[in-house]
């Protein structure tokens, strides 16, 4: 399915949530089709669909099939449909704000309702369907930029209809009228509320062309700090998440999945499980064939179906299962490290090679090299995976917490053969995403179990299931090399990455393209250094991998931003000055990966300088204190972190101050952006400090939050978020707050105690290094 991120670019989001960006050929564009009707109680109803290709004949579905995109009731109440999945990124608030702004609505009278997945038949598209409400995914920080292109027009068209109705009622030219907060204003001071005009407006005729949008100076809702729309329901326990949904007569399902990568079922005995009161049946759920693409569920499993969750869990505990490890039974974290070292000693796939790296290195006056290690990590959204599904002969119902509901519909079709128009996909609030729910493997399981059992199913994963069966953030070793010339300037740069590509067991990815998920060739410092080489080495691993919030940016920004610091220290240069030199003069450059087509170095310079200035970069600090910086461009957004840390003699450390400066274009909801940056920063710190998924014997070692220790209140710093005012089109906000948090922290730690962390997580490396330093000092002759 495709959607437009920028007018002249098209982003493809595949079923696993991966994004690729392609220029759209001339002549293709998008035209909005807005459909108008009346409600039974005399209100105005706007829905729409949006063909991808202009010039296509509109195939309006019957009005009765319309989801409510915008409804204005006779009493002035306004309901706005929220199309994107709400995973905590705030789009259920921010997207309706765009509609409400152009409608000139009274935000206090707006109620937001989650739309279901909306698809319409489209015979000539490869999938046979098209979006009914526009794109409905949460991935790649695209919801806001997509909505900026199309949702404002919905509000503008509705306002136009209201104005026409008011002009008719007052017999006045429409150009004489103004609106404010759900009121039409007559020049003589009279007013008419939108509710009073809704019935007449619903009998009007849409203009048939795009309406001119507001000048930004007139914005009353866009840019105003706005609280999250579901907050009252959340704090009273009324908000419905996937795990709270149910289907009539549903059996509770839990699955014991094979813990070994590509392992198989040897044998099982369910006789004890079936004796548990409430257990109804036990089924075998086949998994994907070893090494084959994963297009549905992740692993083979034994399903226990029961009357309630507790019976199902007890039944699962009573199963006796013998699993057979697969081809990866010898895989371990240590073996993967050794594999990386071996690979990096050879030569890999050169994916960018500017100038002459070898010649520049040969001519260097100084060389710097370092290897950074990025561990596998898990998404672990706090709401574990779950799904309700009911497969019948000619229809399927699904309710689940998803990031890609369109993918859930496609998988259900693939597994059942039921027409996609007969697959009903309901979206709930989602208890965290972080990329985990771009995959619909848990939806596939629920669909398969319902199909196998013939019953409606309520599937629950436990935390152990979730931590041991994930699409983990890829592991890798980043070998960085730089050469400095006689002027102490960086003359050559190499980034050699051995990683287990995120593109793993996917259909239609060629081996020569696996690197594309791992290195983004136009990232900093490309273009600024003439002799630049990016080289990739494929690590073989049975671990399933996927998109983890800001995907490869978290790994690459750590390696690159740590290395710039190391170069600065090696060359005796100021880390801020060197960063600014490498970013180069302010200007727009081509950026062909997601977040492009333009990378504006001036905007990156600005957030870096802002963060540095705010933390007081360059000031003298007491011993044991240090400042660290990092800046990065992620998916159209520019972010920089500046941190001040204090390190005690025993190696314990504290973040004393944490600044996050961000430029994501025009801020839609500053309160939401602040939350995303604060949360992204804390996610970045939490992951950098303590999180790693390790492997032993071809399976994941960690089982729950007792051995995968997320950061808690005591370690969460306050985060000062600085939002750069901007007139540029908005980018999303979900991911840019993460990549620079880890390197800013480790750079600050180095500044404080001269210990360089090159392997994440930080764990006890600081205390170990300080205690080794003390031991070395004590063994020196003459020490006391």
Query: How is residue 386 written in tokens?
Result: 């779950």
**Contact predicate 443/390, CB 8 Å:** no
Quick one: 218 or 234, whose CB is closer to another protein?
A: 234
Q: In a 3-state reduction of DSSP, which class is residue 502?
A: coil
Tokens coding 313: 């869990």
Closest CA to 642 of 714, 573, 577, 720: 720
Contact (Cβ atoms closer than 8 angstroms) between residue 613 and residue 580: no
In the bound complex, what is the minimum distance in angstroms from residue 368's beta carbon to another protein?
Answer: 34
Tokens linked to 197: 């005009």
Residue 732 sits in the site that holds another protein (CB under 8 A): no
274 binds another protein (CB under 8 A): no
Taking CA atoms, 204 is separated from 168, 197, 338, in Å, by 10, 11, 70
3-state helix, strand, coil in the chain (%, to 5): 30, 25, 45
User: Which residue of 236, 779, 783, 784 would you call a contact of another protein, by CB under 8 A?
Assistant: 236
Binding to another protein (CB under 8 A): which residues in 298-337?
308-311
- Between CA 511 and CA 660 the distance in angstroms is 38
Asked if 546 touches another protein (CB under 8 A), the answer is no
Q: Taking the complex as a whole, how short is the minimal distance between the CB of residue 667 and another protein, in angstroms?
A: 15
Per DSSP bridges, beta strands 70-72 and 720-723 are: unpaired
Near another protein by CB under 8 A, which window of 356-364, 407-415, 460-468, 593-601? 460-468
Whole-Å CA distances, 683 to 615, 690, 714: 21, 11, 14
Least separation in angstroms between residue 412's CB and another protein is 24
CB of 732 to another protein, least distance (A): 14
Pick the binder of another protein from 53, 206, 671, 701 (CB under 8 A): 671
Strand (E) or helix (H) holding 493: strand 490-499
**Contact string (CB under 8 A) for another protein, positions 87-126, x = contact:** xxxx------------------------------------
Answer yes or no whether residue 277 interacts with another protein by CB under 8 A.
yes
Query: CA 23 to CA 708: how far, in whole Å?
Result: 42
Nearest-approach distance from CB 672 to another protein, in angstroms: 9
Tell me, residue by residue from 425 to 444, as one string, x for binding to another protein by CB under 8 A and - for no binding: ----xxxxxx----------
In contact, 608 and 576? CB cutoff 8 Å: yes
249 interacts with another protein by CB under 8 A? no
Cβ closest to another protein, residue 52 vs residue 305 = 305
Q: Give yes or no for residue 377 binding another protein (CB under 8 A).
A: no
Residues contacting residue 350 through CB under 8 Å, at least 6 positions apart: 533, 534, 535
Collect all residues with Cβ–Cβ distance below 8 Å to 710 and sequence separation of at least 6: 380, 686, 690, 691
Does 405 interact with another protein (rule: CB under 8 A)?
no
Residue 118 tokens, joined: 């909306």
**Applying CB under 8 A, which of residues 705, 754, 768, 774 lies at the interface with another protein?**
705
Nearer to another protein, 238 or 774 (CB): 238
Q: Which of 450, 681, 740, 746 binds another protein (CB under 8 A)?
A: 681
Nearer residue to another protein within complex by CB, 46 or 87: 87
**Residue of 28, 38, 185, 240 interacting with another protein (CB under 8 A):** 240
Whole-angstrom distance, CA of residue 616 vs CA of residue 609: 10
SS (H, E, C) 165-210: HHHHHHCCCHHHCEEECCEEECCCCCEEEHHHHHHHHHCCCCCCCC
Among 15, 104, 106, 230, binds another protein (CB under 8 A): 230
Q: Are strands 531-538 and 490-499 parallel, antiparallel or unpaired?
A: parallel
Q: Does 652 bind another protein (CB under 8 A)?
A: no
Q: Is 241 in the site for another protein (CB under 8 A)?
A: yes
Which contacts qualify for 119-125: CB closer than 8 Å, 24 or more apart? Answer: 119/406, 119/409, 119/420, 119/421, 120/49, 120/59, 120/61, 121/59, 121/421, 122/51, 122/59, 125/52
Stretch touching another protein by CB under 8 A, among 74-82, 230-238, 495-503, 645-653: 230-238
Span from 2-10, 315-323, 377-385, 495-503 in contact with another protein (CB under 8 A): 377-385
Angstrom distance (rounded) from CA 494 to CA 492: 7
Residues 6 or more apart whose CB falls under 8 angstroms from that of 31 comprise: 50, 51, 54, 55
Kindly provide the residue ranges of all beta strands, DSSP E only, lying in 206-334, ordered along the sequence. 251-257, 264-269, 279-285, 301-306, 320-324
Supply the minimum distance, in Å, between the C-beta of residue 675 and another protein. Answer: 6
- Report helix, strand or coil for 617: coil
Cβ proximity to another protein, 256 vs 682, nearer residue: 682
Q: Between 31 and 463, whose beta carbon lies closer to another protein?
A: 463
Neighbours of 598 (CB within 10 A): 14
Is residue 654 a contact residue for another protein (CB under 8 A)? Answer: no
Among positions 54, 210, 218, 232, the unique one binding another protein when judged by CB under 8 A: 232
State yes or no: residue 15 binds another protein (CB under 8 A).
no
Q: Does 244 bind another protein (CB under 8 A)?
A: yes
Beta bridge partners of 655: 645
713 lies in the binding site for another protein (CB under 8 A): yes
CB of residue 185 to another protein, shortest distance in Å:
31
Number of residues this chain uses to bind another protein (CB under 8 A): 64
Nearer to another protein, 70 or 427 (CB): 427
Lookup: tokens for 676? 């995303």
Upstream peptide bond of 107 is cis (omega within 30 degrees of 0): no
- Closest approach, Cβ 316 to another protein, in A, equals 12
678 binds another protein (CB under 8 A): yes
Cα 398 to Cα 388: distance, rounded to the nearest angstrom: 6
Q: Which stretch binds another protein (CB under 8 A): 83-91, 582-590, 630-638, 691-699?
A: 83-91
Q: Which one, 243 or 299, has the nearer CB to another protein?
A: 243
Per CB under 8 A, the list member of 178, 513, 718, 768 interacting with another protein is 718
Return the HEC string of 665-680.
Answer: CCCCCHHHHHHHHHHH
The verdict on 686 binding another protein (CB under 8 A) reads yes
Q: Whole-number minimum distance, CB 378 to another protein, in Å?
A: 11
Using CA of residue 551, residue 555, residue 557, residue 560, what is the dihedral sign? negative
Smallest distance from another protein to CB 447, Å: 22
Asked if 730 and 151 touch (Cβ cutoff 8 Å), the reply is no
Does 166 contact another protein by CB under 8 A? no
Please tell me whether residue 54 binds another protein under the rule CB under 8 A. no
Give 129 or 276: the residue with its C-beta nearer to another protein: 276
Region from 214-222, 319-327, 374-382, 580-588 binding another protein, contact rule CB under 8 A: 374-382
Q: Select from 210, 213, 218, 231 the one that contacts another protein (CB under 8 A).
A: 231
Distance, CA of 675 to chain centre: 15
Neighbours of 542 (CB within 10 A): 23
Contact between 696 and another protein (CB under 8 A)? no
Please report how close the Cβ of residue 706 comes to another protein at its closest, in angstroms.
6
CA dist., res. 593 & res. 579, Å (int): 22
Q: Angle, to 10 degrees, between the axis of helix 551-571 and the axis of helix 670-690?
A: 70
Q: How far is the CB of 718 from another protein (least distance, A)?
A: 5
Contact between 235 and another protein per CB under 8 A:
yes
What are the tokens at 570?
């090696």
Per-position b or e across 55-73, b if 16+ CB within 10 A of its CB:
eeeeeeeeeeebbebbbbb
- Closer by beta carbon to another protein, 265 or else 639: 639
Binding characters for another protein, 383-402, by CB under 8 A (x = yes): xx------------------
Q: Which residues bind another protein (CB under 8 A)?
A: 86-90, 227-228, 230-232, 234-241, 243-244, 252, 277-278, 308-311, 380-384, 429-434, 460, 462-464, 671, 675-676, 678-683, 686, 704-706, 710-714, 716-719
């Amino acid at each position: 399915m495709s959607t437009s991120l920028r007018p002249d670019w098209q982003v493809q989001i595949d079923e696993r949530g991966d994004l690729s960006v392609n220029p759209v050929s001339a002549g293709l564009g998008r035209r909005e089709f807005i459909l108008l009707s009346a409600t039974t109680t005399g209100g105005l109803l706007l829905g729409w669909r949006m063909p991808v290709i202009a010039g296509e004949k509109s195939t309006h579905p019957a009005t009765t099939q319309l989801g409510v995109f915008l409804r204005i009731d006779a009493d002035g109440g306004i309901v706005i449909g929220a199309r994107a999945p709400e995973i905590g990124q705030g789009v259920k608030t921010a997207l309706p704000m765009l509609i409400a702004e152009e409608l000139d609505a009274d935000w206090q009278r707006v109620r937001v309702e989650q739309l279901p997945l909306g698809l319409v038949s489209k015979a000539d598209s490869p999938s046979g369907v098209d979006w009914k409400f526009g794109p409905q995914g949460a991935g790649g920080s695209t919801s806001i930029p997509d909505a900026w292109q199309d949702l404002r027009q919905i509000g503008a068209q509705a306002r136009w209809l209201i104005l026409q109705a008011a002009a008719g009622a007052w017999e006045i030219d429409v150009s004489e009228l103004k609106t404010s907060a759900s009121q039409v204003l007559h020049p003589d001071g009279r007013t008419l509320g939108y509710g009073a005009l809704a019935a007449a407006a619903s009998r009007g005729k849409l203009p048939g062309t795009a309406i001119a949008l507001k000048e930004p100076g007139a914005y009353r809702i866009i840019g105003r700090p706005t609280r999250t729309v579901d907050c009252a329901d959340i704090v009273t326990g009324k908000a419905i998440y996937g795990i709270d949904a149910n289907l009539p007569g549903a059996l509770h399902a839990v699955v014991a999945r094979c813990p070994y990568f590509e392992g198989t079922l040897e044998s099982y005995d369910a006789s004890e499980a079936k004796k548990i009161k409430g257990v109804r049946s036990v089924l075998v759920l086949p998994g994907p064939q070893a090494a084959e693409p994963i297009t549905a569920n992740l692993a083979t499993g034994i399903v226990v179906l029961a009357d309630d969750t507790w019976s199902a869990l007890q039944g699962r505990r009573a199963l006796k299962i013998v699993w057979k490890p697969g081809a990866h039974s010898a895989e371990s974290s240590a073996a993967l490290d050794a594999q990386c070292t071996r690979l990096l000693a050879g030569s890999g796939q050169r994916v960018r090679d500017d100038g002459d790296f070898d010649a520049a290195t040969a001519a260097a006056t100084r060389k710097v090299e370092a290897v950074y290690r990025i561990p596998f990590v898990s998404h672990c959204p706090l709401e574990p995976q779950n799904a309700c599904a009911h497969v019948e002969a000619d229809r399927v119902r699904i309710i689940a917490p998803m990031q890609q509901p369109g993918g859930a519909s496609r998988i259900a079709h693939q597994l059942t053969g039921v027409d996609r128009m007969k697959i009903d996909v309901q979206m709930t609030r989602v208890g965290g995403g972080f990329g985990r729910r771009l995959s619909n493997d848990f939806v596939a399981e629920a669909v398969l179990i319902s199909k196998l059992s013939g019953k409606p199913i309520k599937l629950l994963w436990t935390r152990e299931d979730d931590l041991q069966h994930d699409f983990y953030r890829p592991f890798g070793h980043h070998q960085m090399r730089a050469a400095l010339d006689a002027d102490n300037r960086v003359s050559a740069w190499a980034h050699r990455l051995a990683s287990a590509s995120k593109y793993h067991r996917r259909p239609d990815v060629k081996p020569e393209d696996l690197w594309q998920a791992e290195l983004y060739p136009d990232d900093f410092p490309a273009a600024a250094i003439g002799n630049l080489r990016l080289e990739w080495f494929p690590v073989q691993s049975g671990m399933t991998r996927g998109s983890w919030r800001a995907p490869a940016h978290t790994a690459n920004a750590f390696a690159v931003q740590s290395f710039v610091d190391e170069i600065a220290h090696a060359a005796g240069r100021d880390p801020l000055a060197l960063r600014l030199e490498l970013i180069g003069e302010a200007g727009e450059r081509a950026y062909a990966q997601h977040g492009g087509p333009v990378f504006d170095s001036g905007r990156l310079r600005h957030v870096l300088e802002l963060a540095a200035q705010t933390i007081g970069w360059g000031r003298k600090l007491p011993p044991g204190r240090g400042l660290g910086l990092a800046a990065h461009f992620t998916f159209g957004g520019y972010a920089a972190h500046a941190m001040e840390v204090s390190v005690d003699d025993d190696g314990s450390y504290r973040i004393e101050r944490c600044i996050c400066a961000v430029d994501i274009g025009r801020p839609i909801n500053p309160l939401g952006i602040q939350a995303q940056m604060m949360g992204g920063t804390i996610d970045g710190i939490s992951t950098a400090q303590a999180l790693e998924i390790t492997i032993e014997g071809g399976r994941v070692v960690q089982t729950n939050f007792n051995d995968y220790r997320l950061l808690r209140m005591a370690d969460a710093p306050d985060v000062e978020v600085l939002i750069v005012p901007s007139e540029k089109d908005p980018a999303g906000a979900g991911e840019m707050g993460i990549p620079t948090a880890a390197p800013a922290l480790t750079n600050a730690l180095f500044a404080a105690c001269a210990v360089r962390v090159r392997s994440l997580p930080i764990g006890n490396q600081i205390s170990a290094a300080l205690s080794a330093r003390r031991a070395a000092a004590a063994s020196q002759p003459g020490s006391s």
